[in-house]
A and B are shown apart, each in its own frame.
Chain A
Amino acid sequence: MVHWPVTRIIALLVAALGLLGTAAVVSAGPANAEGEAVQGTLRDLAGAPVVGVTITVTNDSGFEDSDVTNAEGAWIVEVPGPGQYSVLLDEETLPDGTTPPTVNPITTSADPGTPRFINFRLGERERNVQTRWDRAAQLSVEGLRFGLVLALAAVGLSLIYGTTGLTNFAHGEIMTFGAIATWFFNVNLGINLIGAAVLGVITSGIFGWVQERGLWRPLRRRGTGLIAMMIVSIGFALALANTYLIIFGGASRPYGDYDSQAGIEFGAVSLTPKDMISMVIAAVILALAGLALLKTRMGKATRAVADNPALAASSGIDVDRVILVVWITGAALAGLGGVMLAMTQQVSYLMGTQTLLLIFAAVTLGGLGTAFGALVGSLVVGMLIQLSTLWINPELKNVGALLVMIIVLMVRPQGILGRRSRVG
């Protein structure tokens, strides 16, 4: 058994988070309520910010405060403490042609120490009355986009599972890591978002390397069981998410560039240039990853290890090296996914945690441990989530996706592309 001191884990944790720590020190700037607040970003259907709208927050015990949406459509009201609040959008102040939100006022509860995000859903602009088919087209594109985001994270999760057997509950936190690191390079260091994203993705890859070398490989050496490792990853996820909260704060923050772009219309579909570009980048990178898996030596070795680690090891493949490569690329891909996600819904400390279940759903749908299954599963889940809003209330859209996952598992326990394991 390898002796493995506590100090080493701690040291590595600290090292991994050190980078973010610097981010925190530098980032005293943007509006960030430490503590309870109610906030949101007001956008129209095309995603463009709606400026100059008054939003008022009240509660039963006489608290009242309001804010006016700024150029990004953002607004924030700090509240005196946790509890129930009523958030009212002043419909008089809406620009002409914008239909008022369907739910107004919104009742909400503020949790201790964290801001509560409120989304007023503004109806469609009047000149653009959409048919069901138009909406279906728009939602399909959005679903594809979200599917690509999921796929970026899911491929790594799935390969890590395939090669090491670890069900990594801390994978969402790698997405968050990528998004926050990019935010740090972009906003604090003033690097253009594209450059910042490249740096963010590289840092995420390094984060993956640190995790594998500092945590998971030593654990495998110690002979820690798979379930124990899974629980370790839960602890790691808790620790990471709350570390992000401490140093990044509870608020959602946008990137400095391309934050509010106007949509370009293609028939019924409206897309912002950044969406288009990021979708193309994601698709290309996923395709490259797929090709690498199929064609390169390392890719073939990876699939061999995922198939049967013992056999792969005995046939001369350096299993540890393969796993390390999987961790680095898997983490880098997840980091990119995080950046892409943050471009639509801003950077927040919980963004990865909140996406994790959907990534699991995608990976499970495809069949645990198969990279291509994860890809297919992600696109299915992404489309499903968006398209389901044609029929069900958007607040329940994730419910639909998760239900479908459960139903698929009932019919095909091994997932869409998975294989059954053998008995005896």
Chain B
Amino acid sequence: MDWGFIFTTSLSSAIGISSIVFCLGAIGLNIQFGYTGLLNFGQAAFLAVAGYGLATTVTTLGLNFWLGIVVGMAATVVLALLLGVPTLRLRADYLAIVTIAAAEILRLTLRSVAFKDTFGGSDGLQQFSDAFYNLNPISPGAYDFGPFKYNEKSWWVIIVGWSLVALWSLLVFLLMRSPFGRVLRGIREDEDAVRSLGKNVYWYKMQALILGGLGGAFAGFMLALGQSAVSPDAYATNLTFLIYVVLIIGGAARVFGPILGALIFSFLFQFVDVVLDQAVNTGVITFMSSTQAAQVRLVMVGVGLMLLMIYRPQGILGDRKELQLDAR
């Protein structure tokens, strides 16, 4: 087995496009779930409306790229309002079910034949990212930085993506150290108590949903631009679950939680894949095929999420003591 290769591909993957997408998505989810306690299980829908908002504006309507970005963000806000108005008054578990249902409604609608002309059916939409790559100052070619090997397009995505991560993390830091963040954390603990102190809890939850949704929107933009395509099945519920995994690995309600979570998750996900693949190909593992080996990864994600939630629900950055307070 080629361990050098295994480590370089895994490290590359840790900073790659999917890691950025998970990270931005988890930053948004952190605002909603980590700080405010909103069980948003429809984060994939926020990524989808942003990506599709951009792609539809540019590809279907033939309009300007930046207008597409604006449309994507506006669509995210609209989705947050649509989701929030009926659900934010509901109990937490109802919110989870409604958001997951809404995300599925959106996906089924996007991939339907009825709207094929607009959203491209199950094929999705392509050819909307030229304006983004035209801004790329890096001249064509492959560039290696230590273990990280990417071409100029990928480096451009990576630079823009991690810059966005930095900006969003700064925003979250500023918000959460302020009295605004205190209200959000109060709502997470007990919204009736916060209500009894004269705070408009509903509106705060709405703001958290919108802000977190916008985090998801940037994840959606990066996913769409990174792949130069949007396709409905990329936004299935599993995407939301993976974003939860990322957030929980790093530590919910921690500014750096999503970043650490995304790096570790993306590294491990790739690492396991390559190791198993090599093990099968070099005959170290004989009892499964390489397709099965790839599927083992998702089993491991599931079991990993269970073990994490049971033994280290606070993630890597969290404070065990703080979480145990619940158990009293």
Contact = CB atoms under 8 A, between A and B. Distances in A.
Interface of A: 6, 9-10, 13, 34-35, 84, 103, 107-109, 111-113, 167, 219, 222-232, 234-243, 245-246, 357, 360-361, 364, 368, 393, 395-396, 398-399, 402-403, 405-407, 409-410, 413, 421, 423-424
Q: Which secondary structure characterizes the binding site on chain B?
A: helix
Nearest to B33: A227
Contact of A235 (B102, B289, B296, B305): B305
A171 B310 CA distance: 19
A421 B309 contact: no
Contacts of B39: 227, 230
A245 B288 CA distance: 13
Interface in B283-313: 288-289, 291-292, 294-296, 298-299, 301-311, 313
Contacts of A237: 302
A84 B124 CA distance: 11
B119 interface: no
A325 B191 CA distance: 35
Most chain-A CB neighbours within 10 Å: which of B39, B105, B113?
A: B105
23 contacts: A6-B307, A9-B310, A34-B289, A35-B291, A107-B123, A113-B295, A226-B93, A231-B305, A234-B241, A236-B302, A238-B298, A238-B299, A240-B302, A245-B295, A246-B292, A246-B295, A246-B299, A360-B97, A393-B113, A398-B104, A406-B98, A409-B94, A421-B91
Q: Which 4 A-B pairs have the closest CB atoms?
A: A239-B302, A235-B305, A238-B302, A223-B327
Interface in B90-121: 90-94, 96-98, 100-102, 104-105, 108-109, 112-114, 121
A413 B305 contact: no
Interface residues of B, number: 56
Q: Which secondary structure characterizes the binding site on chain A?
A: helix
Interface in B222-273: 231, 233, 238, 241, 244-245, 248
A236 B241 CA distance: 12
A219 B233 contact: no
A111 B231 CA distance: 12
Given A235-B304, A235-B305, A357-B104, A409 B98 contact: yes
A395 B112 contact: yes
Given A396-B114, A409-B86, A113 B294 contact: yes
A361 B102 CA distance: 11
Nearest to B100: A357
A405 B105 CA distance: 12
